[in-house]
Chains A and B, each alone.
Chain A
Amino acid sequence: MALVDLMEVNTRLYQQAVPPDWPGGFWWHWLFFAVVLIIFILIMVMAVIYIERRAMGRMQSRLGPNRTGPFGILQPVADAIKVLLKENIVPVNADKVVHWLAPVIAFVPALMIFAVVPFQNGALLADLNIGILYVVAISSVSTIGVFMAGWGSSNKYSLLGAMRNVAAVVSYEIPLVLAIVGIVLLTGSLSMNQIVLAQDIPFVLLQPLGFLLFFTAGCAEINRSPFDLMEADSELTAGFHTEYSGMKFAMFYLVEYAEAVAIAAIITTLFLSGWRGPALPPWLWFIIKVIIVFFLMVWTRTTLPRVRIDQLMSLAWKFLLPLAVINLVITAIEVLFLSALPWLIIIVNFAVAAVLVVMWSKLFFKLGWGRLEV
């Protein structure tokens, strides 16, 4: 495997900073990718729902869905049909407009994230030169939809869940972005496609701590377990979508998994060298990696209990944020002085990640088992 010369890659990227023309004209390009993306997301969501339920079943020593179709693969279809045929109930005291609008506002950003995710070299809706910034900006818009759902359904459980969600997203956005900045330092570009092109060595090796931080913060951002506080089923019945039924509930269900796929796709792009890989076609590599990352999320979900809201906050501010800042500083120094020696960077970064995580978790627990003094 050839050693990557980071500085050389950086200069190459700067020269290519101007995006190419739209292949086949703008509108055709747009239409084609819009259709492909929506189909891709819907099929992916069904696939990951099936994978999650089967994998969880296996991990919990039960079978999981296995009745509809061979190995139960039609279960998501059956669920979708069931949900769509259900009656749409709107609570009497609900704010009708907000209640109706919330699923839409939550759903659209989850779709829009995929506009900048490359499926293979150059195969993406818009190769924005600020791609990753766009992702960060768009992904937090879903929160508004969730909060509208919590507020609009005039239910206290919903409101509690929505408040928790807002608090979690506001806190976890910061370590998330700081973890991304490490990547941007290495590539010198914000474009998702260029980030993939720069990964001759997957960045998970160059940025192990960044990967951990991004994975944790990403899980919290999309409310996957152990951070699934906003719909904590044992506490808040169903959290913000308690009062939703029928198609609107299906939208929220779709958002939940579309966001999970989106975070998995971004992790794939940023850390696991996106569509790159030997032998298989690039898009297949991309999907395989997305599913592997999603499987990691399922694994954590079946393994870990849920944290409490104050512990969630202190984890973000006392644990993830300092580590993200240290990671950023170390990466910056490495890019300055060690960019010709990627293997050294890998060794140093793994050592740093191990030491920091162990040290900080000790310190974290000295601070009172993650409890905030409020």
Chain B
Amino acid sequence: MAIETREFTLKTEPFMLNFGPVHPSTHGVYRMRTTLDGEVVLDIEPVFGYLHRGIEKLAEQRTFTGFIPLTDRLDYISSMSNNMAYCMAVEKLAGITVPERAEHIRVILAELQRIANHLIANGSFLNDCGAYFTPFLYMFREREKILDLFEMVSGQRLTYNFMRIGGVSQDFPEEFMPALRIFLNQMPRFIDEYDRLLKENEILLARSRGVGILTQKAAVNCSISGPVLRSTGYQWDLRRADPYSIYDRFEFDIPVGIQGDCYDRFRVRMEEMRQSLRIIEQAVKDLPQGAVRAEVPHLVRPPVGEAYSHIESPKGELGFYLVSDGSIAPYRCHVRPTSLINLTALREMVRGWKVADLILIFGSIDICLGEVDR
């Protein structure tokens, strides 16, 4: 008797699912049209623009100085870095030299901003991973102290509008330095605490190691920058590669990852916080006295020309391209947005992974929608 064999095939078909624009894990109003086969992500199609405010166009109707507050609104969780990048571009355009003390203040604040940004990035990454708000709130606890410091110098906690063309708006108040000293003493202990809690957490390792691998070649081809690029093992940091401000005077390491997975991105950010603390220590040590602002007229009229200036913002290379026609307003202002360009590799990274990994990989890139959509 012949045994009848039948093939049982389950008929499945892919379906489309909208992630966002209103979704707890899109870090703003970002939308991914995903094609799923059950739990597996077949393809995603990013949809931008829900937060578009036309910031680049707005720059053309403002004076060079008047645009500084708007740069705060680009990547609103690291406003200081945006201020710094823009001011440096104008200074390059107008040929202004910044006093020593102002440079040091800028570096201290920018590195504090980097720590604050990485705290948020890692916290929300772990939140996406499903650790129910505990790491997030632990990291917010320390970010709060940085915000307190920023509030002392600028009076603001989110959009600082602190840096000026040719320097910074004002000197440190006298209570700032003791507070900064306390923070510098405490912070390494807290970073060690995060490491103890998270570095070898089995579930985190199982979830993030080997997930969402970005190859070095793909990262360079997509012109990815920042921790996402460094996690692939490519040692590229503008503070070293093209030293701006006074970064060539400081001693610090550039942490790199091994294979460019989510875990590496997490680790690179963790290490960068330590390096930022090192830079701040050195900058505080040789903080000179003197003016904090160069003599710059209220209405800056840079000569006709163009300038591009970039810095290593917490998320990667943040650049401002300015064209001047000799008037008080930029003729054209273009932002090289870190988040948007880092997002371009997302599609390659998530294909073939599960829905849970999609959220995790997306969170590990660390974007800010204010900067993606501008």
Contact = CB atoms under 8 A, between A and B. Distances in A.
Partners in one complex: yes
B207 A307 contact: yes
A229 B131 CA distance: 12
A234 B127 contact: yes
A307 B129 CA distance: 8
A301 B356 contact: no
B134 A303 contact: yes
A156 B15 contact: yes
Interface string B333-371: 000000000000000000000111101000000000000
B206 A370 contact: yes
Interface stretch (B197-205, B243-251, B274-282): B197-205
B207 A308 contact: yes
Contacts of A369: 205-206, 209-210
Nearest to A309: B39
Interface stretch (B17-25, B58-66, B79-87): B17-25
B132 A302 contact: yes
A250 interface: no
B158 to A, nearest CB: 20
A61 B137 contact: yes
B126 interface: yes
B130 interface: yes
Interface in B9-58: 15, 17, 23-25, 38-39
Contacts of A163: 38
Q: Max chain A CB contacts within 10 Å: which of B39, B130, B203, B209?
A: B130
Nearest to B205: A369
Contact of B130 (A61, A226, A237, A370): A226
A307 B138 contact: no
A201 B343 CA distance: 59
Contacts of A310: 354
A128 B154 CA distance: 71
Nearest to A227: B130
Contact of A235 (B204, B210, B356): B356
A236 B128 CA distance: 11
Contact of B24 (A62, A225, A237, A309): A237
B127 A308 contact: no
A160 B133 CA distance: 23
Interface in A59-74: 59-62
Interface in A217-264: 225-226, 228-229, 232-237
Contacts of A233: 24
A318 interface: no
A311 interface: yes
Contact of B134 (A60, A229, A237, A307): A60
A117 B24 CA distance: 39
B356 A308 contact: yes
A60 B356 contact: no
Contacts of B210: 369
B141 interface: yes
Given A234-B127, A235-B25, A305 B203 contact: yes
A241 to B, nearest CB: 14
Given A160-B355, A235-B355, A305 B131 contact: yes
A304 B138 CA distance: 14
Interface in A4-39: none
A341 to B, nearest CB: 36
A303 B196 CA distance: 13
Contacts of A226: 130, 203
**Interface bin, chain B:** 20 to 34
B168 to A, nearest CB: 33
A307 B354 CA distance: 12
Nearest to A167: B39
Contact of B203 (A59, A236, A304): A304
A347 B137 CA distance: 41
Contact of B25 (A234, A302, A304): A234
Given A156-B17, A302-B132, A306-B356, A234 B39 contact: no
Contacts of A59: 134
Interface in B111-168: 126-134, 137-138, 141
A302 B130 contact: no
Interface in A277-307: 301-307
B258 to A, nearest CB: 16
A277 to B, nearest CB: 32
Contacts of B130: 225-226, 228, 232, 234-235, 305-307
A304 B209 CA distance: 16
Contacts of A160: 39, 355
Contacts of A301: 132
Contacts of B138: 60-61
B132 A309 contact: no
Contacts of A302: 132, 134
A93 to B, nearest CB: 15
Nearest to B141: A61
Interface in A339-372: 369-371
A308 B131 contact: no
Contacts of A237: 23-24
Contacts of B38: 163
Contacts of B209: 369
B40 to A, nearest CB: 9
Given A232-B356, A234-B130, A306-B131, 8 more contacts: A61-B137, A234-B24, A235-B25, A235-B356, A304-B131, A308-B356, A369-B210, A370-B206
Interface of B: 15, 17, 23-25, 38-39, 126-134, 137-138, 141, 201, 203-207, 209-210, 354-357, 359
30 contacts: A56-B132, A59-B134, A60-B134, A61-B137, A157-B17, A228-B130, A229-B356, A234-B24, A234-B129, A234-B130, A235-B25, A236-B355, A303-B134, A305-B126, A305-B130, A305-B131, A305-B201, A305-B204, A306-B129, A306-B130, A306-B203, A306-B207, A306-B356, A307-B130, A308-B206, A308-B357, A309-B39, A311-B207, A369-B206, A370-B206
Q: Which 4 A-B pairs have the closest CB atoms?
A: A306-B130, A305-B131, A305-B129, A60-B137
